[in-house]
Structure 1
């Protein structure tokens, strides 16, 4: 998705400021595509190596993590920036009771789905630090949904409350039960996470049409994609939503 201004293609940069990390995607004027993730403090080093983007769109769910990005924008004189900080910035497609308290990530995922023109509604699961399970219409309207701890949050929470338990990173959990603590924690967390999300999905599906699709995005999407039959894995759906905004703005110029 490249933007055209004055008959020439220009580069775009979209950035998703999450709770624990940032995701970004750069599209150059020649069609060059670059993307990645980084910590909040290291992201400016990544951006300094990119060619200049003419248009930038940024979503944020954490105001306290915007400082590094804003300093970079100020130092490079980037003034043409679109910020999406909550559903209140996208009220035409956010039908929750409190758009200003609805996360930008949820609103952008819904917007991106509507832009795909699939003609079918979706349950959109965004598996990040928090996992959201949302009802979305074919037109990209966010009707509402559920919010629960993500896999990372479950692990960190367990470690904080029960510090004597081992870190399950890298463990496996084959078999009907585990005989050692690392795999027991790993299997317990993953099973709880997947089963909980599937239960929330079933609850949402009961209020939607029979042909509703299931779309999964976010850093911990894979165990859900592996467990939910017919689920579509759509990495970077929030970034897709930001690019949809830039493309929509272009059409109105």
Structure 2
């Protein structure tokens, strides 16, 4: 069975393509009109038959509908979106409708719990937003945080001042800096890293920290705590929420 998984994020459209019996392949494109993004996806997949397509998205309903329409036209398969519900994958959500969490956060929790079924897990998604969610050893969602991501923090600072210009290629380091723009970049990284470390300390180290998202590798390198870097966590959650054999 050939399976195409798509994650439509705030910054990029990402995908995982797995042909039967082969290792998965990954690709991404910066957000553009749906037709352009699906065209790039079609070139990646080529003429291969897509048997199953699963979709995660934090985009608007209009964008999701357009992506689904273009995917159906390109591959003759209707993308399936998961329906978040408490109990799936052993993750129990009591205090809020799972739909209100955001599909990417919920899917990442499913995947994290699948990796560590008997441990408490802290899922950190470092992308446009920096999200941190906690699931207890019993599978119960204990709440989370949503903060600006590294580039979002940097953009907010440069757009709010007249004399600072957003660097074409940001360089984040966890150390003091002399030039203002470098100090802003380093401050953003230091704030994000200290935040994750502080939440880890609240559990006296008795929790597994799992990182995903576009800035996760950078964040992982600058943390003073043990972490499990899993860049494809949302795709793994899709496979739990929508098993291919059931579609």
TM-score of the aligned structures, taking structure 2 as reference length: 0.82
Q: What does residue 31 of structure 1 align with? A: 22
Instruction: Please give the alpha-carbon distance, in whole angstroms, between the structure 2 residues aligned to 1:65 and 1:39.
Output: 14
1:52 paired to 2:43? no
Structure 1 residue aligned with 2:229, among 223, 229, 233?
233
Residue 167 of structure 1 deviates from its aligned partner by 2.2
CA contact (8 A) 2:111 2:234 kept: yes
Matches of 2:189 and 2:200, distance apart in 1: 16
- Cα deviation, residue 156, structure 1: 1.5
1:83 alignment partner, SS class: coil
Tell me, yes or no, if structure 1 residue 89 matches structure 2 residue 48.
no
- The residue aligned with 2:151 is 152
Q: How many residue pairs align between the two structures?
A: 234
Contact 1:173–1:187 (8 Å) recurs in 2: yes
Distance, in Å, in 2 between the alignment partners of 1:47 and 1:150 is 26
The CA deviation string for residues 200-241 of structure 1, in whole angstroms up to 9 with x for no partner, is: 4445x37xxx53211111111123212132111111100111
More moved, 145-154 vs 93-102:
93-102
User: Is 1:223 matched with 2:218?
Assistant: yes
Alignment of 1:115-154 (within 5 A): 115-138=114-137, 141-154=140-153
Residues 1:21 and 2:12 aligned together: yes
Q: In the aligned structure 2, how far is the partner of 1:90 from the partner of 1:163?
A: 46
> Does the 8 Å CA contact 1:111/1:141 hold for their aligned counterparts?
no
Residue 38 of structure 2 contacts residue 71 of structure 2 at CA under 8 Å; is this kept in 1?
no
Within a 5 Å distance, the mapping from 1:154-173 to structure 2 comes to: 154-170=153-169, 172=171
SS at match of 1:82: coil
1:24-52 per-residue CA deviation (whole Å, 9 max, x = no partner) reads 10100241421122123342123212122
- Summarize deviations over 1:108-134 as a string: whole Å, max 9, x none: 011112222552121111111111111
Change (3 A) 1:97 1:188: same
Deviations 1:57-98 (A, max 9, x none): 11111124325422313314313x3213xxx62332351423
1:123-158 residue CA offsets vs partner (Å, 9 max, x unmatched): 111111111111123465533211111112111111
Residues 148-190 of structure 1 show CA distances to partners (whole Å, capped at 9, x for unaligned) of 1111211111122114213244465779643323322222222
**2:2 corresponds to which of 11, 20, 36:** 11
